[in-house]
């Protein structure tokens, strides 16, 4: 025969966490050996579960009995050794006990005691006593441990919530830096403190008093007022409330709360052994109340009861109701059926002590379950802190939480204002100020609901490394042009500008382009990418990515002949096909090299049969502009019967411009052709001026425009050097009566310190895309489409850009915008000029020759020897690729 103690063990063992708690029985044992039987059955579990043994006659009332079980030092609330968990706590029962005990405590100096329930004096006295009791119960060593436990429970809830608050605030607002973390810490601390205090004071559980059937707390009734009412209530009602409260406290101790609670880890139910000798005594009354409350409320307390009783109490038979009360009988039946309470009585008779095995070992607390609980508790504290670190790292990597931007090597790369205004701290100076203006214009555009988006692709986090590094002024000029155009757009659709930063020297161009394509795949408002202002490898890589995504591109000041060429397929060694999605509004390197070569032969040295030239070139491997321009100059000079003595290389990174100038002087050329970048140009001229070169003429490419503007006096005052340079666009090329509206502003002094070529060509690049979008939008509106159907597609933009040719050409601020009707979308007969640096009232550079049309009504310069048949592209693709 199995040891009967294993049956009790089976009852008190809690099922797996994911299974519901079952009803637990009240085992009623009768017979001569009933007391010995329950003692023997319960004894092994005395130290491993919340346990109490109540002898008959020990307590004069149910209040005394419950106090011994659930009072401040009650047996069921004692710590269980080895459980690794705090014992059950009884805030409801202890409150009811305290309220009732006030009847028997010494009264105050004046007034009757206990006071009337509505007595204001009594209310004030009870409020004072309640405050004192709470303070006393939370003090001492045990109170400190209890407080620490409740605060820990609260922290494991509110630390994760605070972490979510950090993520929410940081991801859904413009707040960056420490503000999200301060907000998250405030949420965590406030939540922990609030829940901890509510738990320590018991207020977290007091809401149950508003639902109990006996002596229910009234709505808006203050707790001291309610306690005063309990002190005056009949003893029978208070006893029922007290037993009910104790059962509810036990239920809370085992309830599977949503928030972390020790109930998750409790593996053994409570065990209560009760000796009943007097059927009318306190213990019998207590058992009866448990059974009655379970029937009334459906409350299944997580406690196994072993009761030694003289006899099994008979159930009262319900007398038949009158037929007229059928409706009420059915209502009560339905209420009882909803409770679903089974018969919890298990009646057995003990005629002899149960047989036991001396070697029977009592069950140990479910430490695995308790350890799992503590592991979860630890994870709820550690994981959020780790998550905070991960969020911070992710926010740093995404420039403060931007969706389409990443932080790479200290730079914020990608679209910085795709979902919200650009965060502070990403850019500085004029770049920051202009982007703020663009973001403000974006709000106006998007609020209308009818807008198109354009991506400005540039380098806006430039690390200035040289005094004459013109990349930052160029970037500022591009932003100024875009902001000017966007602000003056008054037609529908409005224009939204998205800022795409490709990093210093466009080193992250490919990654930025991929972020643009990912964003454009989700945002149908994105029409095209403009900018791409320099012919460097990062821009070429970006063009390839945007080509694969079929996004139209319009470059501003990029001029390399084969910029925009892509491979036919992956097996092709070199790009040999122009992308149909790439357009540019600036003339090519070959056009400016040809004009420069003609100018050398026909204007500077018309009497020499074969003037000599030396080409000084920047041979930085990533700079496609300078390598291509030097190639074009060599080819064009030879075609014009100018002898190229030598091509003298230097690199920006390694320096060498002074040595290159010295070597060029030794060649004694008639003209020096500068195919380098602006940052070394002034040093090059200074070196030439100081060498024994004699008087020499210098012809430079378009990149030096800003250096000439900034240092015109110095360059004009040089005695041995006569400087000319090509320009792609300039306000000085226009007459006031024929200028466009934008150029008229420039002639009147607007943007006086900007770089004209970046300013004007970027303005035209934005203009040509917006014109295409506006035309497509108006066409859809005329057809009567719905609002979302009127939004142009990128295919519409591409089609209209390609058709900007012939009669559809128009006069831009940089001259006529007329893309030839070939696959290579190069502007036809685009305006280009050669400027001479000299002192003059109107500035330091004046045009000496200009080719190409500024206005569509202007006839081509057919008879001008310099401009006639000036090519737009190289005659063949062979040999003209950039390196």
Q: Which candidate, 112, 104, 199, places its Cα nearest to that of 149?
A: 199
pLDDT above 50 for 1: no
282-297 helix and 235-254 helix, angle to the nearest 10 degrees: 60
Residues 6+ apart with CB under 8 A from 674: 616, 681, 684, 698, 699, 700, 701, 704
Extract the tokens encoding 715.
Answer: 């360059």
Render pLDDT for 715-741 as a digit per residue (tens, 0 to 9). Answer: 988 888 999 999 999 999 998 888 999
DSSP output for 48-102:
TSSEEEE-TTS-SSHHHHHHHHHSTT-GGGS--TTS-SPPP--HHHHHHHHHHHT
On whether the CB atoms of residues 542 and 502 are closer than 8 A, the answer is: yes
Smallest CA-to-CA distance from 433 within 398, 468, 465, 460 is with 460
DSSP result, 142-162 = HHHHHHHHHHHHHHHHHHHHH
pLDDT for 364 beyond 70: no
At residue 877 the predicted structure's pLDDT band, cuts being 50, 70 and 90, is very low
Count the residues in the chain: 883
Which one, of 202, 245, 235, 246, lies nearest residue 54 by Cα?
246
Dihedral angle sign, alpha carbons of residues 768, 772, 777, 778 = positive
Structure confidence at residue 176 as a pLDDT band (50, 70, 90): very low
Write out pLDDT tens, residues 188-206: 788 778 777 777 777 777 7
**76-90, 204-218, 313-327: the lowest-pLDDT one:** 313-327
Task: Give yes or no for a cis peptide into 833 (omega within 30° of 0).
Answer: no
- The DSSP output letter for 208 is G
429-488, pLDDT tens digit by residue?
999 999 999 999 999 999 988 899 999 999 999 877 677 788 999 999 999 999 999 999
Name the more confident of 770 and 324: 770
Considering only residues 733 and 341, tell me which one the structure prediction assigns the higher pLDDT: 733
User: 814 near 571, Cβ under 8 Å?
Assistant: no
Neighbours of 120 (CB within 10 A): 10
- pLDDT per position as a tens digit, 243-264: 999 999 899 888 887 777 777 7
Give the model confidence (pLDDT) of 17-35 as tens digits.
788 888 888 888 888 888 8
Over residues 672-681, mean pLDDT: 92
Write the DSSP symbol of residue 363. P
What is the structure's pLDDT at 485? 96
The pLDDT value given to residue 879: 37
Residue 725 CA to residue 709 CA, distance in Å, equals 12
The residue assigned the tokens 């506006």 is 774
Q: Give the pLDDT band of residue 881 (cuts 50, 70, 90).
A: very low
Q: Tell me how crowded residue 82 is: count the other CB atoms within 10 A of its CB.
A: 12
pTM: 0.64
Answer whether residue 148 shows pLDDT above 90. no
**Residue 508 main-chain phi, psi, to 5 deg:** -110, 30
Chain-centre distance for alpha carbon 780:
36
Secondary element (H or E) of residue 741: helix 741-747
What pLDDT is attached to residue 862?
A: 61
CA distance 517 to 656: 40
Contact predicate 684/661, CB 8 Å: yes
Residue listed under structure tokens 């104790």: 246
Asked if 731 contacts 449 with a C-beta cutoff of 8 angstroms, the reply is: no
Quote the CA–CA distance of 596 and 826 in Å, as a whole number: 19
Beta bridge partners of 676: none
Q: Are strands 577-578 and 565-566 parallel, antiparallel or unpaired?
A: antiparallel
Q: Omega of the bond prior to 493 within 30 degrees of 0, cis?
A: yes
387 SS3 class: helix
Closest CA to 49 of 276, 250, 283: 250
**CA 245 – CA 817 distance, rounded (Å):** 86
Rounded CA gap, 451 and 777, in Å? 10
pLDDT of residue 796: 92
The CB density around residue 166, as the number of other CB atoms within 10 Å, is: 25
Give the pLDDT confidence of 478-527 residue by residue, as tens digits.
999 999 999 999 888 999 999 999 999 999 999 999 999 999 999 999 99
Residue-level pLDDT at 171: 46
């Amino acid at each position: 025969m199995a040891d009967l103690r294993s049956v009790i063990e089976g009852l008190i063992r809690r099922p797996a966490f994911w299974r519901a708690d079952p009803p637990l029985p009240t085992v009623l044992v009768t017979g001569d050996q009933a007391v010995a039987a329950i003692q023997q059955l319960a004894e092994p579990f005395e130290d491993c579960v919340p346990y109490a043994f109540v002898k008959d006659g020990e307590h004069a009332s149910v209040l005394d009995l419950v106090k011994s079980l659930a009072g401040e030092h009650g047996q069921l609330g004692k710590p269980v050794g080895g459980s690794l968990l705090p014992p059950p706590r009884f805030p409801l029962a202890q409150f009811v006990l305290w309220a009732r005990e006030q009847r028997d405590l010494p009264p105050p100096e004046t007034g009757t005691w206990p006071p009337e329930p509505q007595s204001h004096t009594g209310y004030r006295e009870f409020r004072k006593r309640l405050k004192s009791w709470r303070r006393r119960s939370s003090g001492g060593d045990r109170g400190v441990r209890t407080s620490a436990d409740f605060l820990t429970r609260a922290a494991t809830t509110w630390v994760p919530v605070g972490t979510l608050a950090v993520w929410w605030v940081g991801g859904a607002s413009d707040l960056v830096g420490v503000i999200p973390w301060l907000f998250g810490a405030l949420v965590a601390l406030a939540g922990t403190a609030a829940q901890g205090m509510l738990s320590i004071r018991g207020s977290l559980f007091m809401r149950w008093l508003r639902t109990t059937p006996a002596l229910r707390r009234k709505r808006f009734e203050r707790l001291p007022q309610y306690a005063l009412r309990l002190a005056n209530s009949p003893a029978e009602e208070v006893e029922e409330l007290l037993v009910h409260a104790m059962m509810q406290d036990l239920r809370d101790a085992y309830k599977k709360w949503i928030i972390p609670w020790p109930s998750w880890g409790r593996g053994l139910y409570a065990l209560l052994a009760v000796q009943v000798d007097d059927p009318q005594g306190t213990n019998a009354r207590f058992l009866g109340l448990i059974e009655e409350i379970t029937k009334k409320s459906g409350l299944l307390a997580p406690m196994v009861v072993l009761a030694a009783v003289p006899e099994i109490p008979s159930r009262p038979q319900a007398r038949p109701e009158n037929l007229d009360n059928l409706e009420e009988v059915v209502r009560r039946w339905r209420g009882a059926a909803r409770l679903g309470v089974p018969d919890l009585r298990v009646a057995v008779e003990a005629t002899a002590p149960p047989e036991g095995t001396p070697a029977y070992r009592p069950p140990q607390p479910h430490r695995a379950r308790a350890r799992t609980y503590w592991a979860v508790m630890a994870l709820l504290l550690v994981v959020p802190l780790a998550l905070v670190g991960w969020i911070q790292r992710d926010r740093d990597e995404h420039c403060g939480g931007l969706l389409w931007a990443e932080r790479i090597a200290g730079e914020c790369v990608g679209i910085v204002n795709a979902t919200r205004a650009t965060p502070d701290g990403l850019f500085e100076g004029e770049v920051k100020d202009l982007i703020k203006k663009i973001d403000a214009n974006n709000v106006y555009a998007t609020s209308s609901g009818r807008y198109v988006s354009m991506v400005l692709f540039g380098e806006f986090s430039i690390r200035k490394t040289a005094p004459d590094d013109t990349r930052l002024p160029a970037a500022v000029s591009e932003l100024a042009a875009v902001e000017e155009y966007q602000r003056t757009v008054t037609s529908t659709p409005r224009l939204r500008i998205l800022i795409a930063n490709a990093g210093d020297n466009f080193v992250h161009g490919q990654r930025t382009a991929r972020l643009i394509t990912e964003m454009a795949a989700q945002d149908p408002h994105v029409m095209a990418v403009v900018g791409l202002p320099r012919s460097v490898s990062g821009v070429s890589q970006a063009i390839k990515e945007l080509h694969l995504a079929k996004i139209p591109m319009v470059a501003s000041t990029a001029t390399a002949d084969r910029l925009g060429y892509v491979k036919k397929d992956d097996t092709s060694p070199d790009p040999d096909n122009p992308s149909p999605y790439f357009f540019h509004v600036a003339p090519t390197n070959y056009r400016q090299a040809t004009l420069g070569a003609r100018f050398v032969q026909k204007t500077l040295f018309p009497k020499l049969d074969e003037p000599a030239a030396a080409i000084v070139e920047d041979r930085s491997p990533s700079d496609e502009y300078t390598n291509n321009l030097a190639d074009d100059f060599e080819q064009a000079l030879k075609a014009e019967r100018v002898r190229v003595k030598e091509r003298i290389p230097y690199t920006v990174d390694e320096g060498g411009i002074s040595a290159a100038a010295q070597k060029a002087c030794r060649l004694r050329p008639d003209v020096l052709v500068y195919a380098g970048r602006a940052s070394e140009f002034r040093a090059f001229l200074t070196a030439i001026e100081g060498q024994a070169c004699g008087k020499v003429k210098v012809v430079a490419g378009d990149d030096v425009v800003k250096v000439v503007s900034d240092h015109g006096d110095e360059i004009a005052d040089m005695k041995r050097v006569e400087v000319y340079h090509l320009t792609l666009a300039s306000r000085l090329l226009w007459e006031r009566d024929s200028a466009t509206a934008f150029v008229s502003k420039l002639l009147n002094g607007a943007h006086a310190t900007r770089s004209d070529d970046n300013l004007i060509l970027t303005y035209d690049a934005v203009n040509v895309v917006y014109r295409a979008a506006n035309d497509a939008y108006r066409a859809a509106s005329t057809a009567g489409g719905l609002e979302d159907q009127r939004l142009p597609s990128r295919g519409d933009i591409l089609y209209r850009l390609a058709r900007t040719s012939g009669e559809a050409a128009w006069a831009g601020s940089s001259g006529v915008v007329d893309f030839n009707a070939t696959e290579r979308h190069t502007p036809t007969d685009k305006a280009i000029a050669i400027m001479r640096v000299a002192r003059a009232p109107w500035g330091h550079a004046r045009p000496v020759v200009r080719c190409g049309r500024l206005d569509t009504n202007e006839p081509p310069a057919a008879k001008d020897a310099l401009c006639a048949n000036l090519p737009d592209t190289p005659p063949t693709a062979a040999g003209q690729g950039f390196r």
